[in-house]
Structure 1
Amino acid sequence: MIGFEQLNNMQQKAVMQTEGPVLVLAGAGSGKTGALTVRIAHLLETGVKPWNILAITFTNKAAKEMRERVDKLVGQGAEDIWISTFHSTCVRILRREISHLDYDGQFSIYDADDQEKVMKEVFKRLNMSPIDKSFSVRAAISQISKQKEEMVSWEDYAKTVDPFDIKGKRLAKVYQLYQQLLKESNALDFDDLIYKTVLLFRTHPEVLDKYQERFRYIMVDEYQDTNTSQYELVHMLAAKYQNLCVVGDDDQSIYGWRGANIRNILDFEKDFPNTTVIKLEQNYRSTKKILDAANAVIQNNMTRKEKSLWTENDSGSIIHIYKADNEYDEARYVAEQIEQLQKEGKSLNNFAVLYRANAQSRTVEDQLVKKGIPYRLFGGVRFYERKEIRDILSYLKVLANPADTIALRRIINVPKRGIGDTSLEKVVTYAQNHGMGLYEALAHLDDMPELKTRAKKFKE
């Protein structure tokens, strides 16, 4: 088997254990991706059809890396293996099956910017202030996102709201209208992708059975970061054949704030009583000093799967910790350390400053500028967030899905066509009063005497 001999004993065990539920506890830097790709190759060698394999990762980057490794190992036939993120997997399923939920397969997918526009329209129709600090547009989006992650529909949420809970009743109305506007535009938001797929499987068992038969061998990476909807999606797909291999590390679970449920990995053996547990504890990335420090810190966790990382790497340098008084003291210390080491002959290419949030870069930048230390900031406006790219994508969305009101409103006056906000609102009102979409209403401009002649020329 290609690549098998390069694996350590525990990695080889993870590769060979192909049948039944498998929990691979993979510590940081333990070579889990290599083991997973060889496992896929081994499944194919044992006669498993490539289209019967589903590998789910958490990021597009991880999916791309795994795809490239599998392609090198397997070659022909690898293209039939589904290797993608949770959301990409669900998009592929929904494109084929969402008609069961009364949507068109050419639905649009709304990003954060689109969501805000929809929610502002919701607030407008409900006569709510979008700048209310106690219940803002973004707060409403966040709360609805949490409901979808927990598989709670607007109907179910409305039933559970206390009659005296003013905020809860307000969210119920917002949630309902928000979903209504998405439906009218034949659109889904990011949370809908998994939510709607699980709903599809719940309400149409024949569709679930179809994909259970297709994906007889399922692998999920970073399982400690799964939330409720992702958990249910995986368990529904794996229920028939039980050939589910999840890879994760409870010690690396840091996304509870965005819905990740650590119990998913801690209780895996309860969900699947016949689970084989395999621990990948050999680290290939760090020095002994770093691992000793990491093990000492993580031992303080009360709920965790017992394991201890080790390495054959060198001992390495000792770890220095500086307890700063505030962010300014922290930034000054960082800049001074770089300045001193640079004087000792170190190249600036050897330094990297990592921070948790983009807002934290400012104080560090200020100190680097003061000391005349050149730097390069990684990040900025992403390609798909640039105005001209979003405009082009909106044109394509309207071509594929004319019901996409948000995309249409974005490009209706790009380039300038004489349709301002006032004229557009009159068209929107006409559409609402006549029970039609904005795109359809544009064909009835002659029926709107209140519009200016310049605006009416748009349909020409």
Structure 2
Amino acid sequence: MFRIFGPPGTGKTTTLLNMVDKALADGVPSHQIAFLAFTRKAAHEARDRAAERFNLVAKDDLPYFRTLHSLAYRMLGMRDDQTMKPEHFRELSATIGMDLTIIRQDTFADDDIKTSVSDHPILSMITLARLQKKDLRRAYDQSDLNYNWIEVDYVSRAYQKYKETNHLLDYTDMLALFIKEGLQYCPQFKLCFLDEAQDLSPLQWDVAHGLEKKAEKMFVAGDDDQAIYRWAGADVDHFINLPGGSEVLQQSYRVPSTIHALAEKIVSRISGRFPKTYLPKKERGRVERVFSVLDCDMSKGTWLVLSQARYMLQPLENELRSMGYLFSRFGHRSISEKISMAVNGWEQLRKGEAIDVETVRSIYRYMSGNGKKVARGAKKIIANEDDYFTFKDLKESCGLLAPLDEPWFDALDKLPSVDRAYIVAMLRRGEKFNAVPRINLSTIHQAKGGEADNVVLLLDLSPAALLTANDDIHRVFYVAVTRAKENLFLVEPEDLMKAYML
């Protein structure tokens, strides 16, 4: 394996994609290139870029641009009915008398896998032990799980028996079975690329080494300094200590010099890292300490507000609303698309414009029926999705009773008062509330790979983080400061004894 180390902003993934482009341009058949990523988003980005540049059909011509789990699923010839679903966890819960139904869709899933994962602490620990290739009892003894060993052992045995009885697999089973049986069905590759290698667990590294035997050349890319998923089983030391050649991408195109200097201070605290030459871009940038997030003027530019834990951002969300800022919190807009559509749609009608049927439905959702704003029984619009309506059309044939001269805050009388006040505050500030938010609130983990002109970083640490290994915390805050393209604002902590010191 040849390693490519990509510090923040050096274009690691772009470098890999350029290598894919060159291989395709040199005549390497697309089905002899594998591009494997930790997340679906990264795999699809590579696939779609290559497809667009070389006029290929993404899913047909680039079949091996996918996640590791998706590759295992494909090579094992699995079907959808062979994977764990919410109903299976519910049935298992009823059988063993313990609720295991804390369900989420796995973020590493691909289009062809529709399965669910239980976030119950016991099942999470069982999965982690398997990913780390640890004995379950040893993993339990090293954990702070608030369950006794008898309960853990009972759930582990019951879960395994349930899967065997019903011929079902979870994600970890797919990887283990792929190593055991699926590799023989894997084709030979001219090139195999593996991105975000610092996040791979020992079991996933077994998959990677199996694929190495199937490839003429294999490139693994990552950055050990950004390995912030050790708590999820990532084995960064394996990446650091891989034999073979390596290349370090030295030039950052994101991080300016003053912020880079702070990042280097943080990264120097990490023990056992791979030494690198890492250069800032020529701009100076700025690092400033503030007492509150509200000391920052967020009226222009893009902003990323980062915290180590989710709960730390809740008070700020309320403050930003009162100040009339449009923002996104953990990927969700601060004002819903439906409300934005209804308000804008009503104002479009008042200007004499036509709106589509989905917008009409959004407007009617926030209007009183029963003959007040909309005629009784008229809220259910029956129309083709490509139909358009003017105010006159709605008045004459769709039961609209609200007069044309009513502004949105009167016409949409079922709009919650808190949303009404928030929209008014945004309009006063001059925000376009149907725009893409400039301000994003996120945990540091969720922001990995992201960037913004301005980064606001809360230095507070959660109780759990105070118990975390030092190197892991250093890496988390290294990732945080290197999201900034121009300015970094460090928010003074509430308690210096419970903070990351910078």
CA contact (8 A) 2:34 2:189 kept: yes
Cα 1:147–1:114 shift into 2, 3 Å: farther
**By how many angstroms is 1:208 displaced?**
2.3
Could you say what secondary structure the match of 2:313 adopts? helix
1:305 is the counterpart of 2:266: no
CA, structure 1 residues 193+314, in 2 after alignment: closer, same or farther (shift >3 Å)? Answer: same
Q: CA deviation at 1:91?
A: 2.0
Q: Does 1:278 align with 2:242?
A: no
1:143 shift after superposition: 1.6
Whether the 8 Å contact between 1:208 and 1:237 is mirrored in structure 2 is yes
Aligned twin of 1:58:
38
In the alignment, which residue of structure 1 is the partner of 2:65? Answer: 83
Cα deviation for residue 179 of structure 1 reads: 2.1
Match of 2:156 among 166, 170, 175: 175
State which of 84, 96, 103 in structure 2 corresponds to 1:110. 84
Q: Choose between structure 1 and 2: higher helix proportion.
A: 1
Q: How many residues align?
A: 310
Question: Is it true that 1:320 corresponds to 2:288 in the alignment?
Answer: yes
Structure 2 unmatched ranges of 5 or more: 102-117, 142-146, 334-502
Structure 1 residue 302: Cα displacement: 1.6
Deviation string 1:193-229 (CA, Å, 9 cap, x unpaired) is 323322xxx2x4xx52331x43342111011110011
Change (3 A) 1:81 1:280: farther
Larger fraction in strand: 2
Partner of 2:4: 24
Contact 1:286 1:313 in 2 (8 A): no
Q: TM-score scaled to structure 1, two decimals?
A: 0.59
Question: Residues 251 and 351 (structure 1 numbering): CA distance in 2 closer, same or farther, change over 3 Å?
Answer: closer
Per-residue CA shift, 1:396-447, capped at 9, x if unaligned?
xxxxxxxxxxxxxxxxxxxxxxxxxxxxxxxxxxxxxxxxxxxxxxxxxxxx
Distance 1:119 1:222 in 2: 34
What amino acid is the match of 1:226? L
1:187 is paired with a residue whose SS is coil
Q: Does 1:243 align with 2:210?
A: no
**Aligned partners of 1:292 and 1:283: how far apart in 2?**
13
Q: Hey, what does 2:178 align to over in structure 1? A: 197
1:439 maps to: none
Identity of aligned residues (%): 24
Q: Is the 8 A contact 1:221 1:248 kept in 2?
A: yes
Equivalent position amino acid for 1:57 in 2:
A
Q: State the match for 1:430 in structure 2.
A: none
Q: What secondary structure does 2:262 align onto?
A: helix
Q: Distance in 2 between matches of 1:161 and 1:186?
A: 27
CA contact under 8 A between 1:38 and 1:73: conserved in structure 2? no
Q: Unaligned stretches of 5+ in structure 1?
A: 1-20, 99-104, 270-274, 325-332, 383-460
| One-letter amino acid matched to 2:72 | C
- Tell me the distance in 1 between the aligned counterparts of 2:251 and 2:16: 16
Matched residue type, 1:139: P
Give the residue type in structure 1 aligned to 2:157.
Q
Change beyond 3 A, Cα 1:120–1:321: farther
Q: Which of 17, 21, 25 is residue 41 of structure 1 equivalent to?
A: 21
Taking the aligned partners of 1:70 and 1:364, their CA distance within structure 2 comes to: 41
Change (3 A) 1:130 1:247: closer
What is the one-letter code of the residue matched to 1:120? Answer: S
Structural mapping, 1:53-452, within 5 Å: 53-76=33-56, 79-94=61-76, 96=77, 105-110=79-84, 116-124=89-97, 138-151=120-133, 167-198=148-179, 202=180, 204=181, 207-211=182-186, 213-241=187-215, 243-269=217-243, 275-317=244-286, 319-322=287-290, 333-335=292-294, 337-338=295-296, 341=297, 346-347=299-300, 350-369=302-321, 372-379=323-330
User: Runs of 4 or more off by more than 6 Å in structure 1?
Assistant: 158-162
